[in-house]
Amino acid sequence: MQYNPDLLKQYGVSEQELELASASEKEGIDQMRPSVTYWKDAFARFRRNKLAIVMFFLLLAIVLLAIFGPIVSPYTYKQQSKDLRQGPSLKHLLGTDNLGRDMFTRLMYGTRISLLVGVVTMVLVCLIGITYGGIAAYVGGLADNLMMRFVDLMMTIPSMLIIIILSVVLRDPMESLFNNPRFSGLATIGSGLISIFLVLALFNWLGMARAVRASLLMNRSQEYVLASEAMGAKSKWVLTKHLLPNSIGVIIISATGVVPGAIMTESFLSFIGLGVSAPMPSLGSMANTALNGIVSYPQYMLYPALLISMIILCFNILGDALRDALDPKMRK
Amino acid sequence: MSDTILELQDLKTYFPVKGSRSQFVKAVDGVSFKVDKGETVGLVGESGCGKSTIGRTIMRFNQPTGGKIIFDGNDITTGDMKPYRQRMQMVFQDPYSSLDPRMSVGDIVGEPLDIHNPKMNPKERYERILEQMKLVGLNSEQMGRFPHEFSGGQRQRISIARAMVIKPEFMVLDEPVSALDVSIQAQIINMLMDLQDQLGMAYLFIAHDLAVVRHISKVVVVMYLGHVMEINTAADLYKNPLHPYTQALLSAIPVPDPKTSRTRKRQVLQGDVPSPINPPSGCVFSTRCPYATEACRASLPQIESVDSHHVVACHRYKEING
């Protein structure tokens, strides 16, 4: 056995005096973990959550299929063949629908729409909600009071009703906007979709604004903020180093909570015929078309419904897992 | 150069009462005392007497309503605190809410360095943090850990390390040990005293525990309802309390010997601390003072010097102790 002579000297012991550590003493040594950064630590905690890992890869598969599937697929969402209502085969993996269109390709397009709605709504909600909640918490006083009463007021409005009305009302102005050559780029996304983004963002930012404001105010009153100010920190430092990092869990939870809600609403709107315009499929509109033949051809309902459920489940579980992972108190 | 690092002159901090424009909570109402360089002044009083408000007003978390705060010869009552933030620091009472749960201990201790010296090279920063952590009895392995992994006493050590890492000349210690076990209290107090010997900071030690204050302070300020009752050196105050309030406080300290405990006269105060919104007229202590007379209720007693290091604010201290 080799000993470090410097260490021996430092502790004032000779080589003969040393003895092997007992099992219980070794246990103490094992507990001395290497120092890790906040994000590394969060990632390690996330990785330990088996269910979340499964969901992560499932969602990743769905996302990749939705993005690249339509490019690889030999069919397009509106391309018809003479084989109507085919069962699954090598030619059509999940068969064809009542108009002879490839089911698998249409599902991938539909998922694309659903995910797009979810993500765009989430981004819009984060932008509006964090800004609004942040301003209310920062300014405080009367302005905060008025801003939050406005949120309360918005929350009392039956959102589904307004969303339906708005998507009907917004249709025509959107159409004419897209006919304007200056906005021709937007037309590729489709006017129905844009108005869905708008109405969904309009009614989903309320929860985010409230959560962000509450979290900022709560953290604002903690003594570590005061300590930071005692060191001479400016409000920008306090905001970026203390308030926002401590609110990130709340933001992530609210944001991942928005996604399934938005996908749900979009599916519903498409289901009642207010969403994306045919022949562009969305999971909701596909379920709608399947309704007519649900007894004879239940698989047409099953596929989109299953996909909607899976996407929503993935987002919900991942949101929970992220919240747990981002909280250092959860470390075992 | 004077030997005084901090001086309060007739400091007043009032808070407006919600829903009223004319009423104020007079948390601190005309307090004057000095803290000498490298020494500890203990500030004691019951809950709600304004001790913490004084600490917070010195740090300018609250704007003083009147009077002056003089730090090392500079008036810091108003105006920019930036030049002084490095020179005075504060340790808070609650070791749980005073550390950011999202930051590692190394980053917490390093935060003052990051604020004042963002361009410090990482190696130097690391060494400063490590040096400070060793001073408060923590090791390098603990730098990467998060606050929730530590006990209350260790957290308070982290708080102290954070406050000291920029080498302040003056520190407000706002009940730094009252949330801790008695055995841990002693460790922290002794550590604070050792650090003072090594680094030469002055402390304003706020506490409600006279025994703790006696151990650490050179001078003790006794407060009641926003007013100073008595100021004396720690050694003398405990032997020779002149103000009836100080006497009552001292008689409330438990004595470990049951014999002495049985024979000694305990002076129990009647009633509660009056509201600082409507303080009693005259001497604020008159409603609970066993010796109060009409004269006490009529006029506020002036601070009188008994000798060079001893002042008392009582109309009748000579008769009572005569």
Q: How confident is the model at residue A33 (pLDDT cuts 50, 70, 90)?
A: low
Question: What is A34-60 written as a DSSP string?
Answer: PP--HHHHHHHHHHH-HHHHHHHHHHH
| Domain match, B145 and B212 both | no
Task: State pLDDT tens for residues B8-33.
Answer: 999 999 998 887 778 889 899 999 99
Residue B238 lies in a domain: yes
Task: Pull the structure tokens for residue A84.
Answer: 């109507």
| Rounded distance between C-alpha atoms, residue A244 and residue A250, angstroms | 10
Using a CB–CB cutoff of 8 Å, tell me whether A152 touches chain B: no
Count of the separate structural domains present in chain B:
2
Q: What is the pLDDT of residue B89?
A: 93
Which residue, of B138, B162, B186, is where some domain finishes? B162
Is the N-terminal amide bond of A279 cis, ω within 30° of 0?
yes
Run of H or E residues at B127: helix B122-135
For chain B, the average pLDDT equals: 89
CB contact under 8 A, A328 and B159: no
Taking an 8 Å cut-off on Cβ atoms, the answer to whether A329 and B101 are in contact is yes
A227 neighbourhood in chain B, CB within 8 Å? 90, 92, 98, 159, 162-163
B144: nearest CB among A35, A223, A241 = A35
Encode pLDDT of B117-150 as tens digits: 888 899 999 999 999 999 998 988 888 888 888 8
Q: Are B218 and B234 in contact (CB under 8 A)?
A: yes
Chain B CB within 8 Å of residue A32 CB: yes
Domains within chain A, CATH numbers bracketed: 111-325 (1.10.3720.10)
Q: What is the mean pLDDT of chain A?
A: 82
Question: Which whole number is the average pLDDT over A26-30?
Answer: 52
Q: Can you tell me the ipTM of this complex?
A: 0.84
Rounded to the nearest 10 degrees, the angle between the axes of helix A103-139 and helix A283-291 is 130
Of B100, B145, B166, the CB nearest to A242: B100
Q: How confident is the model at residue B202 (pLDDT cuts 50, 70, 90)?
A: very high
Indicate yes or no: CB of B116 within 8 angstroms of CB of A232: yes
Q: What is the mean pLDDT of residues A198-225?
A: 90
In this prediction, residue B321 has a pLDDT band, given cuts at 50, 70 and 90, of: confident
Long-range contact pairs involving B316-319 (C-beta distance under 8 Å, separation at least 24): B316/B291, B317/B242, B317/B243, B317/B244, B319/B291
Q: What is the pLDDT of residues A78-123, one digit of tens each?
A: 787 777 777 788 777 787 877 778 888 888 988 988 899 899 999 9
How much is the pLDDT for A323? 80
Question: What is the domain extent for residue B68?
Answer: 4-87+168-321
A5 pLDDT higher than 80:
no
Torsion sign across C-alpha atoms A51, A55, A56, A57: positive
Is residue B119 domain-shared with residue B143, that is, in the same domain?
yes
Considering chain B, what percentage of its residues have pLDDT values greater than 70? 99
**Band of pLDDT at residue A34, cut at 50, 70 and 90:** low
Overall pTM > 0.90: no
Chain B residues with CB inside 8 Å of A223's CB?
Answer: 92, 94, 97-98
Q: Same structural domain for residues B132 and B81?
A: no
* pLDDT tens track for A119-177: 999 999 999 999 999 899 888 889 999 999 999 998 888 878 887 888 778 777 777 77
Tell which of B62, B81, B102, B155 to mutate to test the A interface (max A CBs under 10 Å): B102
User: A231: which chain B residues are within 8 Å (Cβ-Cβ)?
Assistant: 85, 89, 111-112, 115-116, 166
How far is the C-alpha of A113 from the C-alpha of A304, rounded, in Å? 12
Query: Are B309 and B220 in the same domain?
Result: yes
CA distance to partner chain A, nearest, from residue B50 (Å): 18
CA distance B109 to A35: 15
Secondary structure letter of residue B52 according to DSSP: H
Beta-carbon separation of B146 and A245 below 8 A: no
Same domain, B190 and B119: no
Whether residue B81 is found in the same domain as residue B183: yes
Same domain, yes or no, for B12 and B54?
yes
Q: What share of chain B is helix, strand, coil (3-state, %, to 5)?
A: 35, 25, 40
The answer to whether A231 contacts chain B (CB < 8 Å) is yes
Q: Is the pLDDT of residue A261 over 50?
A: yes
The reply to whether A242 touches chain B by the CB within 8 Å rule is yes
Q: Is B40 a domain residue? A: yes
User: Which of B81, B99, B104 is the closest to A35 by Cβ?
Assistant: B104
The answer to whether the Cβ–Cβ distance between B111 and A231 falls below 8 Å is yes
CATH number at residue B212: 3.40.50.300
Write out residues 191-230 of A within 8 Å (CB-CB) of B. 222-224, 226-230
The fraction of chain A above a pLDDT of 70, given in percent, is 87
pLDDT at residue number A30: 45
A21-49 residues labelled b (16+ CB within 10 A) or e (exposed): eeeeeeeeeeeeeebbebeebbeebbeeb
Q: Which residue has the higher pLDDT, B99 or A189?
A: B99
